Amino acid sequence: MATPKNTAAVATYGDHEVIVPENKLRKAVSNTSPAFADDPVARAEAALEALSSEFGQMMDDECDRLDRARQNLIRDGFSKTNKERIFHAAHDIKGEAATLGFPLVASAADSLCRLIEYTPDVTRIPLKLVDQHVDAVRAIHREYSRSNAEELAAALTGRLREVTDEFLIFENLNRPDVLEQITGPSIVPE
């Protein structure tokens, strides 16, 4: 009986097996025309490097967008549109922070996302707490070049997380499944 050409790697443990299929894509890409011979990851990294001088301005723009969303929220309240605007602005900052070279900003933005996502009735969110989140994002970004930026970010985001968790726990006392998610560790890298 012939041995199959394309086999998967199998690791057997006491109670389970891990099967890692062969990666045929790498072979397919490397065997195509010379136009595709370059490394797409290297091209993406080169493109990011070319844009890196603009990252500070991009983060400025994102912080301004978050601030405008906050101002709309303060002026008009937690309408569906305002809720979505502030959530998406914070979520985008959380996702882009590391790429743009400001990873310390992600935790404050994540805390604001959690506040909005896990509050059953967003109209109960104290606007002061939203202000504190937005101000923290802006302060961490503004002070990023300081030698103690990491300490500043840790202090701000640590306290925000505590206050946010207190509020969320109180608001979700009758939702044990949500309480478990709230009290779990953050998945945002520190």
Question: Can you spell out the DSSP letters for 121-187?
Answer: SGGGS-HHHHHHHHHHHHHHHHTTTSTTHHHHHHHHHHHHHHHHHHHHHHHTTT-HHHHHHHHSPP-
- Return the pLDDT at 94: 96
**SS (HEC) of 46-114:** HHHHHHHHHHHHHHHHHHHHHHHHHHHHHHHCCCHHHHHHHHHHHHHHHHHCCCCCCHHHHHHHHHHHH
Nearest to 142 by CA among 32, 66, 42: 66
Model confidence at 88: pLDDT above 80: yes
Does the pLDDT of residue 184 top 50, yes or no?
yes
The residue with tokens 């961490």 is 140
For 25, half-sphere exposure in the C-beta direction (CA atoms, 13 angstrom radius) is 2
Cα distance between residue 135 and residue 141, in whole Å: 10
Compare 75 and 52 and report the one with higher pLDDT: 75
Render pLDDT for 29-68 as a digit per residue (tens, 0 to 9).
555 555 555 778 777 777 666 666 677 888 999 999 999 9
Bridge-based pairing of strands 9-12 and 17-20 is: antiparallel
pLDDT in the model for residue 82: 97
In the chain the domains, ranked by start, together with CATH numbers, are 55-183 (1.20.120)
Residue 3 has pLDDT above 50, yes or no: no
* pLDDT value of position 72: 97
Residue labelled with tokens 């301005």: 57
Q: What are phi and psi of 6, to 5 degrees?
A: -105, 105
